[in-house]
Amino acid sequence: MTDRARRIPEATVARLPVYLRSLAELHDDKIATVSSERLAEMAGVNAAKVRKDLSYLGSYGTRGVGYDVEYLSFQMSRELGLTHDWPVVIVGAGNLGQALANYGGFRQRGFPVAALVDASREKVGGYIHGVPVHHMDDLPELAADLGIAIGIIATPASAAQEVADALAAAGIRSILNFAPTVIAVPEGTSLRKVDLALELQVLSFYQEHRDTEGV
């Protein structure tokens, strides 16, 4: 890992894609410069944090003008490794795996789904939304042949740990877990999880307090 990457705190890394998304919205609206205050508002953090986060990228903005939207997007994309594609394998060809294979946001943002993999022989052999379905046993070969960078776990919770072990054994060092369970990965493997229920809990907070007051 580069020295600079080592110096960027994990929480900052997790916010970079949020800033990048805000910058893309500004770019779509043909806005050329943005203040840290405006970017903070869009990303849901405070302006001091934005300035601190961006300083890790070597971006300081111009007093009274702000940050150049296009240049900051470029810097951030480069830092995030988004200037080239990262082929992805999805493990689990059920509804969630199929939905993810068909999710427009992945390819569009540089994460083409190169293969679906499933433990059931019945699902193997065909194509789902143009993505070939292979058997779990072929994972090591697929990972090497397709240059898979990231494995997505889209299985039931009960299979998730076994799948994570198989991904790691196939040399895949970045794992995104959609299964609603906690899994462990070897040292040196990056793991992120998507908790689909988490945002519902945020909504229920506001719903609860709205209902209480009847407003």
**Residue closer to its own copies, measured from CB, 11 or 63:** 11
Question: Does residue number 81 form part of the binding site for its own copies (CB under 8 A)?
Answer: yes
The nearest distance, CB 122 to its own copies, in angstroms, is 18
The nearest distance, CB 182 to its own copies, in angstroms, is 6
Q: Work out the number of other CB atoms within 10 angstroms of the CB of residue 65.
A: 11
The token duo for 18 is 């949020």
The nearest distance, CB 19 to its own copies, in angstroms, is 11
Quick one: angle between helices 10-28 and 69-79, nearest 10? 140
Residue from 50, 61, 79, 115 touching its own copies (CB under 8 A): that is: 79
The nearest distance, CB 171 to its own copies, in angstroms, is 12
Spatial neighbors of 135 by CB under 8 A, at least 6 apart, are 117, 118, 119, 121, 124
Rg (C-alpha) for the chain, rounded Å, is 20
**Residue closer to its own copies, measured from CB, 63 or 122:** 122
Total residues binding its own copies (CB under 8 A): 72
- CA 165/CA 185 separation, integer angstroms: 7
- Contacting range for its own copies; rule: CB under 8 A; set: 119-127, 139-147, 161-169, 198-206: 198-206
Per CB under 8 A, contacts with its own copies among 111-150 are 111, 149-150
- CA 5/CA 68 separation, integer angstroms: 23
Site string (143-162) toward its own copies, x via CB under 8 A: ------xx-----xx-----
The nearest distance, CB 62 to its own copies, in angstroms, is 26
**Residue closer to its own copies, measured from CB, 119 or 157:** 157
Q: Which of 203, 113, 179, 103 is closest to 150 using CA atoms? A: 113
- CA 32/CA 68 separation, integer angstroms: 6
**Residue closer to its own copies, measured from CB, 9 or 125:** 9
The nearest distance, CB 76 to its own copies, in angstroms, is 10
Question: Does residue number 100 form part of the binding site for its own copies (CB under 8 A)?
Answer: yes
DSSP notation for 16-85:
HHHHHHHHHHHHHTT--EE-HHHHHHHHTS-HHHHHHHHHTTT---BTTTBEEHHHHHHHHHHHTT-SS-
